[in-house]
Amino acid sequence: MPSVAQVEPITTARVLRGPFDYARPEGVEVGSVVIIPFGNRDVLGVVTGLAEDSAHELMAPKEVLEASLPADLVALAPWIAAEYCSTPARALSLMLPPKGIRARTTLRARALRAPEPGERLTDGQRALLESLPRQAGGDLAALRRLEARGLVALEPEAMRRAPHHTDVGASAGARPQLTGDQALALEEIAAAQPGERLLLHGVTGSGKTEVYLRAAERALAADQGVLVLVPEIALTPQIVSRFRERFGDTVALLHSGMAAGARYDEWLRLRRGEARICVGPRSAVLAPIDRLGLVIVDEEHDASYKHEGDPRYDARHVAERRARDHGAILVAGSATPRAESWERLRRISLPQRVDGAPLPPVEIVDLVGVRGALHPQTHDALVDARKSIVLLNRRGWSNFLTCVSCGRAWECPECDVTLVLHKAQGHLSCHHCGHRERIPSRCPDCASVSLARHGTGTERLETELPGPVFRLDGDAGDPARVLDAFQRAERGILLGTQVVAKGHDFPDVELGVVVDADQTLRFPDFRAEERTFALVAQLAGRAGRGAAAGRVIVQTLAADSPSIVFAARHDAAGFLAGELDRRRVLRYPPFSTLIRIVCSGTDAGAVQAAAAAIQARLPGSLGPAPLFRLRGRERSQVVVKAADRAQAVAEVGAVIDAIAADRAHRAVALSVDVDPQ
């Protein structure tokens, strides 16, 4: 019987790495979560191993918590740490259920025997006995007295805090007859080898979700668990609803928007095997699911799968690893897959919409010489259409403000970016750090009152659109409610940032408009083309579903860019073939691995010195290149482009550890991003 528990303290410190030895209390196993005395405080820790003996004198954990991690997750933590140049403790902290919560129980009372004739009971006690079985609730003291006399038994019973989820687009769980393509896709999934990875490339509206549902049904029947990853839940509530309709309580929901109590209970239901399907956004990739047989990554192109905190994990990459560990089948689905997935995963396709309707024709409208945000032709089309979706990836009224007299531009004091004007809220705000200031009435430099607003955001466009507008962006209320109102409306325009292009299934949208297709193209990033293609094709996919005949208008200044040309033809294969050729030549992913190291600090010289030191230790790396100041911090980056991923990650990890431990660079914070997006 090993008597030593090796405990990894859950701290964020990079230099402090466990595990440390503690005495092993009874019942403690690998995965147990404990509170340990550590230095002069108590910290949370996870048991990562057991040992027969230790060279140290051992302290005992102060407490063993109710929820424990499964062994497969404990084993995954060091891999995540190494893969993303982080620490096992940080990886473990992502896996834990909400802290400071325990399962809630209630006491239920039942009668054990009838009162003897002549047994003395008050009227109140008699009434209480007659009302059994019941929840103890407010009359606990009275019930305890009856319990003491052997009349009733009080037993604890788990009380589930269910997640709050507004079901949308409910189809009452109907199980439609599969189309021929869906049936073929399902057969391919069923015939896949354990650990195999598939890409379900299905055009928008081709019924991918139904294929997921059937594959999940098969997995459940084989007593396997299912993980379903979706982009942000608030924006794609439909898929959650469809899984819940079909499978009921065996579906657990896990996302950060849930109350901690409900999240804890859902987590525990999975851990105990009471729920066998987990649906959630990227963080759910670490859900405790035993005997995982199927991992689904819906809308696999979605940027939200990348986590921005440390460790900067990519849920798609972690999902592949979990699937491999469990011998589970991975199905990544999208109408606009990433070049990486197209190249590396076995493809199955759903080439047609379920209803057989053609994809809507896409018109490219050249914005050269057009004043204002909308081409007159676009405006007319909006007047004609009953329901439309308009995409403008820019919140606020206008992107920046200048003084006409002296040229002053309003910038964030903490970041080197211009402030965005939000008219209704009456302020200028920084979209990077949240800084706000009141809208000025005159220029503080030259006192001129003639200030110019440049560019158009969703807030302003709302006022220029014909017809009732349902605005969906970070400033405009609860997304589920806006989507629901739009769904039920007779006429109207759903206007918003890129969230309007995400997976929604409205049967009666006649027109889709991309107001400024070049906006994503302007990003200086090798994924700019891919992102633009996805945005245009996804928006096109929202139009012309169901009975409505659809059309799409794409406004652009770059009418001949491949992303726009291929998106207009709904030709993902054509686009990806060209894109992969380009990346092969330029040695971009998937033909290499990129690692980005960002140094930041308040002192520009120190930041530059640290970045230069890192660059010097990583032969062949690019940089250091200055980045714009963010939240008052100067930044500089070094980029590694490597053929051998594992080797590059290990080298970068070693260099980062060395620089982090070097007192000369202690004023500089380091962050490593493997596979930056």
Q: Does 536 bind Zn ion (CB under 5 A)?
A: no
From residue 208 to residue 237, the character string flagging contacts with ligand ADP as x (rule: CB under 6 A) and all else as - is xxx---------------------------
Judged by CB under 5 A, which of 119, 366, 445, 662 binds Zn ion?
445
Q: Does 204 bind ligand ADP (CB under 6 A)?
A: yes
Cα–Cα distance for residue pair 640/652, rounded to 1 Å: 9
Q: Which is nearer to ligand ADP, 178 or 557 (CB)?
A: 178
Q: Which is nearer to ligand ADP, 239 or 392 (CB)?
A: 239
| Window contacting Zn ion (CB under 5 A); options: 327-335, 397-405, 528-536, 656-664 | 397-405
Q: Which is nearer to Zn ion, 232 or 414 (CB)?
A: 414
Q: Does 206 bind ligand ADP (CB under 6 A)?
A: yes
CB of residue 333 to ligand ADP, shortest distance in Å = 7
Neighbours of 433 (CB within 10 A): 16
Q: Which is nearer to ligand ADP, 210 or 310 (CB)?
A: 210
CB of residue 94 to ligand ADP, shortest distance in Å = 28
Of residues 548, 530, 552, the one with CA closest to residue 539: 552
CB of residue 12 to ligand ADP, shortest distance in Å = 39
430 interacts with, out of ligand ADP, Zn ion, none, CB within 5 to 8 A per kind: Zn ion
149 interacts with, out of ligand ADP, Zn ion, none, CB within 5 to 8 A per kind: none
Q: Which is nearer to Zn ion, 13 or 452 (CB)?
A: 452
**The pair of three-digit structure tokens given for residue 571, joined into one six-digit string:** 């030709």
Q: Does 450 bind Zn ion (CB under 5 A)?
A: no
Q: Which is nearer to Zn ion, 30 or 433 (CB)?
A: 433
Q: Which is nearer to ligand ADP, 352 or 556 (CB)?
A: 352
Residues 486-505 that bind ligand ADP (CB under 6 A): 505
Strand partners, 421: 398, 428
Q: What is residue 495's three-state secondary structure?
A: strand
Judged by CB under 5 A, which of 253, 270, 382, 443 binds Zn ion?
443
Cα–Cα distance for residue pair 216/226, rounded to 1 Å: 6
Helices and strands per DSSP (H, E), number in the chain: 19, 30
Strand partners, 198: 331, 346
176 interacts with, out of ligand ADP, Zn ion, none, CB within 5 to 8 A per kind: ligand ADP
From residue 173 to residue 202, the character string flagging contacts with ligand ADP as x (rule: CB under 6 A) and all else as - is ---xxxx--x-------------------x
Residue 287 near residue 270, CB atoms below 8 Å: yes
From residue 421 to residue 460, the character string flagging contacts with ligand ADP as x (rule: CB under 6 A) and all else as - is ----------------------------------------
CB of residue 309 to ligand ADP, shortest distance in Å = 29
Q: Does 433 bind Zn ion (CB under 5 A)?
A: yes
Q: Does 512 bind ligand ADP (CB under 6 A)?
A: no
Q: Which is nearer to ligand ADP, 177 or 441 (CB)?
A: 177
Peptide bond into 281 cis (omega under 30): no
Q: Which is nearer to ligand ADP, 9 or 207 (CB)?
A: 207
Cα–Cα distance for residue pair 360/569, rounded to 1 Å: 10
CB of residue 209 to ligand ADP, shortest distance in Å = 3
Q: Which is nearer to ligand ADP, 91 or 189 (CB)?
A: 189
Residue 233 near residue 278, CB atoms below 8 Å: no
| Window contacting Zn ion (CB under 5 A); options: 14-22, 140-148, 406-414, 476-484 | 406-414
CB of residue 512 to ligand ADP, shortest distance in Å = 14
Contacts of 101 (CB under 8 A, 6+ apart): 260, 261, 264
Peptide bond into 590 cis (omega under 30): yes
Q: Does 634 bind ligand ADP (CB under 6 A)?
A: no
Instruction: Give all strands (DSSP E) within 359-510, no chain letters.
Output: 362-366, 387-391, 400-403, 420-422, 427-429, 436-438, 451-454, 469-472, 492-496
Of residues 236, 342, 234, the one with CA closest to residue 581: 342
Q: Does 431 bind Zn ion (CB under 5 A)?
A: no
Q: What is residue 493's three-state secondary structure?
A: strand
Backbone CA torsion sign across 402, 403, 408, 413 = negative
Of residues 398, 413, 403, the one with CA closest to residue 443: 403
CB of residue 233 to ligand ADP, shortest distance in Å = 16
Residue 271 near residue 70, CB atoms below 8 Å: yes
Q: Which is nearer to ligand ADP, 207 or 281 (CB)?
A: 207
Residue 642 near residue 648, CB atoms below 8 Å: yes
574 interacts with, out of ligand ADP, Zn ion, none, CB within 5 to 8 A per kind: none
CB of residue 202 to ligand ADP, shortest distance in Å = 5
Number of residues this chain uses to bind Zn ion (CB under 5 A): 15
Q: Does 435 bind Zn ion (CB under 5 A)?
A: yes
CB of residue 391 to ligand ADP, shortest distance in Å = 17
208 interacts with, out of ligand ADP, Zn ion, none, CB within 5 to 8 A per kind: ligand ADP
Residues 332-371 that bind ligand ADP (CB under 6 A): 354
Backbone angles phi, psi at 621, to 5 degrees: -75, 160
Peptide bond into 97 cis (omega under 30): no
One-character DSSP codes across 256-305? TTS-HHHHHHHHHHHHTTS--EEEESGGGGG---SSEEEEEETTTT-GGG
505 interacts with, out of ligand ADP, Zn ion, none, CB within 5 to 8 A per kind: ligand ADP
Sheet holding 329-334, edge to edge: 251-253, 277-280, 225-229, 292-297, 329-334, 197-202, 346-350
CB of residue 299 to ligand ADP, shortest distance in Å = 8
Buried b (16+ CB within 10 A) or exposed e, 644-656: ebeebbebbbebb
Residues 155-174 that bind ligand ADP (CB under 6 A): 171
Number of residues this chain uses to bind ligand ADP (CB under 6 A): 16
Contacts of 148 (CB under 8 A, 6+ apart): none
46 interacts with, out of Zn ion, ligand ADP, none, CB within 5 to 8 A per kind: none
Backbone CA torsion sign across 652, 655, 657, 660 = negative
CB of residue 300 to ligand ADP, shortest distance in Å = 12
Residue 521 near residue 563, CB atoms below 8 Å: yes
Strand partners, 277: 226, 251
**The pair of three-digit structure tokens given for residue 275, joined into one six-digit string:** 């729920």
CB of residue 210 to ligand ADP, shortest distance in Å = 4
Q: Does 241 bind ligand ADP (CB under 6 A)?
A: no
**Which residues sit at the interface with Zn ion, rule CB under 5 A?**
403, 405-406, 408, 412, 414-415, 430, 432-433, 435, 443, 445-446, 448
- Interface residues with ligand ADP (CB under 6 A)? 171, 176-179, 182, 202, 204-210, 354, 505
